[in-house]
């Protein structure tokens, strides 16, 4: 009996050591104050960015009027740092491995239903913060467009069901946070913080004139379609655009069987507006390449960079550069160390724009580890090089050649190029024209390269351009500067080719449907820019057209 207290002491001591080993894998910020101590494992809500040291329980929001151009923040109180939580999922991994492969898992519930779940990208938040921080401020909505992963996550939640769930009225929003780790598979831990708030949503009253179908005015240059479509569905879409559920949409045009079916403009745009569709302009470079091959100014898509440039005059020379072909530039498989979807890539397009000579900068880039022609990586700078090749080879330069061989035959008169620093028409994007003229370009491909009976683009080039060359992801493929994907409506898949640009700009050419659709938008660099276009197509436009 005399040993009993000692045994208890020993057990307690061992437990404490074990607890310390599991909870303090690395030293973190710990419990920073009494408010933190009393709210461990809680998510609280606040209307402004209140510093931790000034934050009080009376600042916790219980109710909030949800609207744009406001401030809506989380303050998350954790028992330990994220790295320490991740350690419990994989005790064999070191801190750097944990931080490289793990992050927070967020679950958003509205009125008791799980609406959206996200494993926050592993690159969101610094490794240092993952190791140390036990209290986080996460802005969800900001009046100053704060650059933070929380704001982008909130936008993804809204576009992936939040907008629909948070209709006018009162709602309960609940958020749960867990740690997750992805190595061979995804492993998710227990809840480490949660919280809820009552939200009031009141969307603006819309002038009903903005919802009605816009009558097609005369002199469009197109025959007017006599086909029917579900007008209530289009009015429902117009309402979503008017109340800003779909943001910064400028125009929608639908061509069916070569005739103008729908022509709608929004947010100050009209028939004469020239739209900056950014990378949609790349598809025009593809067209001009095919025309130049037909006319003999280029021999074939298999010509290599070495035939146009003395590559030994540029930095980072390697024999691999000599093997890069026009086809590789068209299919984003050139093998250069450049990937626009990776902001850390040295060949990212944002690093190109400040340069005095874009072509020289591109050819100076090193080659990547991926082999030429074997792997897709979106590389805008490669399309600039393609434009420079066209500029050198076609008579009077690319701009004049495009005017004579493409725009004049299509009766496109009002358009505007952007230019490289060398005053060459910029094939990276930014070609501006009206929505109806963009539709002509789409219809040209739908017609097998013909416009009003005249062959503008070789028929075989059109087919080859739209052929799937590389799989990009589970939804998308890539051809010659054309994307390829599928929209599902009423359980049926509809394959579509499309030119796509920053902001949510699209020219859609459907494979088996008699449709060309153009959507222009100015949601540049917004996380919802392409996702909202997908929703417009699958939930509104295609159902409206196909139901009749």
Give 274-308 pLDDT, tens digit per residue.
999 999 999 999 999 999 999 999 999 999 999 99
Rounded to two decimals, the pTM is 0.89
Superfamily name with CATH number, domain 208-278+433-546: DD-peptidase/beta-lactamase superfamily (3.40.710.10)
The confidence score (pLDDT) of residue 13 equals 42
Residues 239, 276: contact at Cβ < 8 Å? Answer: no
pLDDT per residue as tens digits for the range 78-104 = 999 999 999 999 999 999 999 999 999
Per-residue model confidence as pLDDT tens digits over 446-469: 999 999 999 999 999 999 999 999
Q: Are 326 and 309 in contact (CB under 8 A)?
A: no
Take residue 87 and report the two structure tokens written for it: 């350690």
pLDDT over 90 at 2, yes or no: no
pLDDT tens by residue, 43-82: 999 999 999 999 999 999 999 999 878 899 999 999 999 9
State percent of the chain over pLDDT 90. Answer: 91
| Arithmetic mean of pLDDT, 516-531 | 95
d(C-alpha 476, C-alpha 484), whole Å:
6
Chain segment 323-343, per-residue pLDDT in tens: 999 999 999 999 999 999 998
Phi, psi of 388 (to 5 degrees): -70, -40
pLDDT confidence band for 527 (50 / 70 / 90): confident
Domain regions of the chain by residue span: 22-201, 208-278+433-546, 298-393
CA distance from start to end of the chain: 89
Cα(102)–Cα(143) distance, integer angstroms: 30
Distance, in Å, from the CA atom of 24 to the CA atom of 28, rounded to the nearest integer, reads 8
Of 9-18, 273-282, 531-540, the one with minimum mean pLDDT is 9-18
For residue range 199-246, list pLDDT tens digits in order: 999 888 888 999 999 999 999 999 999 999 999 999 999 999 999 999
Pick the closest to residue 161 from 118, 204, 104, 105 (CA basis): 118
Cβ atoms of 289 and 398 within 8 Å: the answer is no
Which structure tokens are listed for 318?
């390697």
16 pLDDT more than 60:
no
Q: Which of 435, 421, 439 is nearest to 509 (CA)?
A: 439
- CA–CA distance from 23 to each of 18, 49, 85 (Å)? 9, 29, 8
> What would the pLDDT profile of 146-183 be if each residue is shown by its tens digit?
889 999 999 999 999 999 999 999 999 999 999 999 99
Q: What is the mean pLDDT of the chain?
A: 94
Residue 108 contacts residue 115 (beta carbons within 8 Å): yes
By the 8 A CB rule, do 361 and 350 touch?
A: no
């Amino acid at each position: 009996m005399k040993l009993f207290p000692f045994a208890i002491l020993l057990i307690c001591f061992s437990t404490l050591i074990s607890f310390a080993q599991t909870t303090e894998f690395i030293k973190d910020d710990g419990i920073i104050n009494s408010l933190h101590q009393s709210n461990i494992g809680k998510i609280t809500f606040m209307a402004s960015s209140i510093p931790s040291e000034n934050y009080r329980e009376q600042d916790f929001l219980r109710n909030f009027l949800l609207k744009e151009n406001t401030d809506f923040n989380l303050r998350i109180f954790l028992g330990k740092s994220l790295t320490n939580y991740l350690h419990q999922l994989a005790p064999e991994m070191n801190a750097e491995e944990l931080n490289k492969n793990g992050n927070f898992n967020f679950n958003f519930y509205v009125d008791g239903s799980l609406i959206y779940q996200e494993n926050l990208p592993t690159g969101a938040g610094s490794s240092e913060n993952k190791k140390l921080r036990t209290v986080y401020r996460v802005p969800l909505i900001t009046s100053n467009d704060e650059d933070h992963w929380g704001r982008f996550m909130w936008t993804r939640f809204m576009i992936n069901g939040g907008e629909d769930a948070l209709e006018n009225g009162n709602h309960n929003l609940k958020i749960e946070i867990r740690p997750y780790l992805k190595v061979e598979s995804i492993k998710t831990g227990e809840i480490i913080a949660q919280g809820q708030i009552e939200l009031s949503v009141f969307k603006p009253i819309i002038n009903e004139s903005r919802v009605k179908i816009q009558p097609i005015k005369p002199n469009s240059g197109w025959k007017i379609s006599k086909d029917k479509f579900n007008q209530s569905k289009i009015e429902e879409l117009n309402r979503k655009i008017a109340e800003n559920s779909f943001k910064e949409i400028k125009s929608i045009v639908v061509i069916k069987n070569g005739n103008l079916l729908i022509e709608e403009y929004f947010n100050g745009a009209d028939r004469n507006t020239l739209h900056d569709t950014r990378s949609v302009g790349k598809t025009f470079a593809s067209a001009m390449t095919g025309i130049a091959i037909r006319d003999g100014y280029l021999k074939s898509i298999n010509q290599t960079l070495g035939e146009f440039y003395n590559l030994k005059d540029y930095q980072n020379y390697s024999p691999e550069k000599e093997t890069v072909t026009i086809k590789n530039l068209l299919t984003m498989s050139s093998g250069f160390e450049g990937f626009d979807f990776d902001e850390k890539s040295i060949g990212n397009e944002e690093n190109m724009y400040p340069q005095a000579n874009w072509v020289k900068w591109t050819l100076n880039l090193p080659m990547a580890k991926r082999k030429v022609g074997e792997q897709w990586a979106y590389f805008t700078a490669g399309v600039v090089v393609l434009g420079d090749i066209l500029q050198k080879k076609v008579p009077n330069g690319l701009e004049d050649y495009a005017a004579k061989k493409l725009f004049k035959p299509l009766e496109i008169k009002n358009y505007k190029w952007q230019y490289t620093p060398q005053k060459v028409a910029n094939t990276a994007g930014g070609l501006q024209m009206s929505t109806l003229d963009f539709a002509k370009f789409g219809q040209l491909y739908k017609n097998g390269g013909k416009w009003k009976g005249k062959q503008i683009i070789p028929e075989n080039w059109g087919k080859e351009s739209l052929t799937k060359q590389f799989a990009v992801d589970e939804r998308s493929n890539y051809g010659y500067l054309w994307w390829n994907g599928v929209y599902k409506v009423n359980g049926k898949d509809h394959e579509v080719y499309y030119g796509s640009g920053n902001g949510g700009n699209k020219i859609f050419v459907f494979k088996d449907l008699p449709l060309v659709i153009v959507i222009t938008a100015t949601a540049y660099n917004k996380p919802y820019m392409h996702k909202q276009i997908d929703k417009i197509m699958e939930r509104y436009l295609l159902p409206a057209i196909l139901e009749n």
